[in-house]
Structure 1
Amino acid sequence: MSGAGSALRIGTRGSALALAQTGLVAAAVAKASGLGVEIVPIASQGDHSTASLASIGGTGVFASALREALIADTCDLVVHSLKDLPTDAYPGLRIGAIPKRADARDALCARDGLTLEELAPGARVGTGSPRRAAQLRGWRPDVTVVDIRGNVDTRLRKVADGELDAVVLAAAGLGRIGRLDAVSEFFELGKWATAPGQGALAIEVRDSYSSSFAAMLKALDHSSTRLAVLAERAVLARLEAGCAAPIGAAGVVDGDMLFLTATVYAPDGTKSLTSSHALVLEGSASERAALPGELGDRVAAELLALGAADIAPIGALA
């Protein structure tokens, strides 16, 4: 930002979903800061490549271009889907705020309003997520899982045109672009774990952000969401697993307790391992800030002890 009263430049991917969720953040930023905002679309390798996400580095490829633009001062802050953000710290940047989370569930979008159980044997179900693929194979080993790319509308069109019988997408994304009408079934989190951070957004800023930024970011941050998603991300970090790994996690704040459950899936869906733990939210501000990491480490350690590294492509060793 070049000077007092200047518009805050918000970097984002250029997809319809990214622009929709950045529009929500932009409105909140304008209200909290009293400044004008400018949305700056930024293209990434993930947007141009037609290769599978796993082959080009997972969903983290979407974050790289945004982070480079932020470091280069092309924008003042960037908006990420938190589930696409690698857990490793990026030199010179920090997560300044995590707004209140939207629906964290996955949703099935099938023709004729069919549920997963109602799909015919051999039905073609599309997803670009190794976790969702493993879950589909576990729940319905008789369906054909098809690896797909493309934005939400492209994926839904494959169902409408008959190329696929169904796709699995994030409920939050469908809601943000007004396409919840396409949902034939919502998968409950207790039975179908979703990606760490799913449904949440992250506002990333340079370490050198100004004091006026601090007040604005504090107004945008949602403390319960932050605690929950940081615990989920701590599982990924401890397991040294990328954001496209077959791992689901759900953190929940209930009163003065932080609960965390995580599941590691074998890619073929034949096995899964689950761990659940909880911690009391107590102590000083700095002590409470450390609790999500502590809880995530505890859950990840148990998963490793149960043999998670033997069934899934994760980097950590017991």
Structure 2
Amino acid sequence: MASAPIRLGTRRSALAQAQSGHVADALAKVAGRPVELVPIVSEGDTNRASLSEIGGTGIFANRLREALVAGECDILVHSLKDLPTAVPPELVIAATPLREDARDVVITRGGTPLHELHRGSRVGTGAPRRIAQVRRRAPHAEVVDIRGNVDSRLERVSTGELDAVILAAAGLSRLRPEMKLHREDLGLAEWPTAPGQGALAVETVADAPAELIEALAQLEDEATRLAVTVERAILAGLEVGCQAPMAAHAVVTGDSIRVRAVVYEPGGGRRIGLDVTESLNRGYIRRNGSGNGADAADGADPMRTARDIGDSAAHRLLEQGAADLLPRE
């Protein structure tokens, strides 16, 4: 029935519920139907082991996707940075809404910048990429591998258990927690973040009703889709999971896209990076990172071009020795 609620599957965490609620409100307006949240418990919600130990690939998405295929819900909302790059053939990412702030932030009690924290300061984060970045930015600090929701991480700083935690700016924007702590925004040029960070993916089954697909399409932000397509193509090209110690961030400006990507040694010692700007109108992307307009195909698909740019970037990183720094999955 056209008036039946659209069932949106989501993890039970406060952050997942907040971002799913935002999508639900937007979808209800364009679809003219109510949208109800269907809480689903993922492995990532029950397995309390460190993400650096369990890998993280699909840990938040697999159970939700099983529920979608089984008909327990009609759509899913994922944090795109937690979503494996391989999409099952029976599913489709039907929308990528406008991206939130993609930066990381440092939360401290006194406002001391991360690089000025005193020797032995305890900095909490569970992501291998952030661990490597902290060890580069604040080599005298002690990195504490943590899990938990945003509120519990903030509380550990408030009580003095930790001197700082690293969080995603998008999560703070969506949750808006009350806190009397200091925030340091980390610029993407020197502190790039995970592929897809700050972006959401709305997923449904490939044979979903046409009216649902059409409604979801109205939530799409093309610049966000192009940027995250490049970022995730780099991740796929490196053949590692979304918990690898690497970063990739792309920004669309007009017909061009700027891509920054870095692969880190887990201990924070070495890093291999690139920073390139490519045209999205060109159908041919050379391996040296520049386009060739003479070889461009008329009407080239921008999304295909975005994937080619990401694949080319991954190839260049591997040529520079990135494989030596990355865990294989």
State the number of aligned residues: 313
Displacement of 1:94 in angstroms is: 1.1
* Aligned residues of 2:97 and 2:199 also touching (Cα < 8 A): yes
Where do 1:1-318 residues align within 5 Å?
A: 3-58=1-56, 60-179=58-177, 182-282=181-281, 287-314=301-328
Question: TM-score, length-normalised on structure 2?
Answer: 0.92
- Seen in structure 2, the aligned counterparts of structure 1 residues 213 and 177 have a Cα distance that, compared at 3 Å, is same
Q: What is the letter of the counterpart of residue 225 of structure 1?
A: T
- What is the SS of the residue equivalent to 1:61? coil
Q: CA RMSD in A?
A: 1.4
CA–CA distance in structure 2, aligned partners of residues 30 and 4 of structure 1: 12
Q: What is the letter of the counterpart of residue 276 of structure 1?
A: D
- Seen in structure 2, the aligned counterparts of structure 1 residues 99 and 284 have a Cα distance that, compared at 3 Å, is farther
CA–CA distance in structure 2, aligned partners of residues 93 and 183 of structure 1: 41
1:31-60 CA distance string (max 9 Å, x none): 110001110110011111211123333152
- Seen in structure 2, the aligned counterparts of structure 1 residues 145 and 29 have a Cα distance that, compared at 3 Å, is same
- What is the SS of the residue equivalent to 2:215? helix
* Aligned residues of 1:174 and 1:180 also touching (Cα < 8 A): no
Displacement of 1:217 in angstroms is: 1.5
- What is the SS of the residue equivalent to 2:216? helix
Q: Which runs of 5+ in 2 are unaligned?
A: 282-296
- What is the SS of the residue equivalent to 1:249? strand
CA–CA distance in structure 1, aligned partners of residues 122 and 186 of structure 2: 18
Q: What is the letter of the counterpart of residue 137 of structure 1?
A: R
- What is the SS of the residue equivalent to 2:203? strand
Question: TM-score, length-normalised on structure 1?
Answer: 0.95
- Seen in structure 2, the aligned counterparts of structure 1 residues 183 and 12 have a Cα distance that, compared at 3 Å, is farther
CA–CA distance in structure 2, aligned partners of residues 18 and 160 of structure 1: 24
CA–CA distance in structure 2, aligned partners of residues 197 and 54 of structure 1: 19
Q: What is the letter of the counterpart of residue 302 of structure 1?
A: R
CA–CA distance in structure 1, aligned partners of residues 215 and 161 of structure 2: 46
Range with bigger deviation, 184-193 or 174-183? 174-183
Displacement of 1:284 in angstroms is: 6.4
CA–CA distance in structure 2, aligned partners of residues 207 and 113 of structure 1: 48
- Seen in structure 2, the aligned counterparts of structure 1 residues 183 and 9 have a Cα distance that, compared at 3 Å, is farther
Displacement of 1:180 in angstroms is: 7.9
CA–CA distance in structure 1, aligned partners of residues 40 and 65 of structure 2: 10
Percent of pairs identical after alignment?
50
CA–CA distance in structure 2, aligned partners of residues 195 and 272 of structure 1: 15
Q: What is the letter of the counterpart of residue 315 of structure 2?
A: A
* Aligned residues of 2:229 and 2:303 also touching (Cα < 8 A): no
* Aligned residues of 1:277 and 1:295 also touching (Cα < 8 A): no
CA–CA distance in structure 2, aligned partners of residues 215 and 59 of structure 1: 30
Range with bigger deviation, 116-125 or 10-19? 116-125
Displacement of 1:90 in angstroms is: 1.6
* Aligned residues of 1:279 and 1:291 also touching (Cα < 8 A): no
CA–CA distance in structure 1, aligned partners of residues 54 and 7 of structure 2: 28
1:273-302 CA distance string (max 9 Å, x none): 111233222266662120111000111111
CA–CA distance in structure 2, aligned partners of residues 285 and 302 of structure 1: 26
- Seen in structure 2, the aligned counterparts of structure 1 residues 155 and 238 have a Cα distance that, compared at 3 Å, is same
CA–CA distance in structure 1, aligned partners of residues 205 and 198 of structure 2: 23
1:106-141 CA distance string (max 9 Å, x none): 000111122102311110000010000000001111
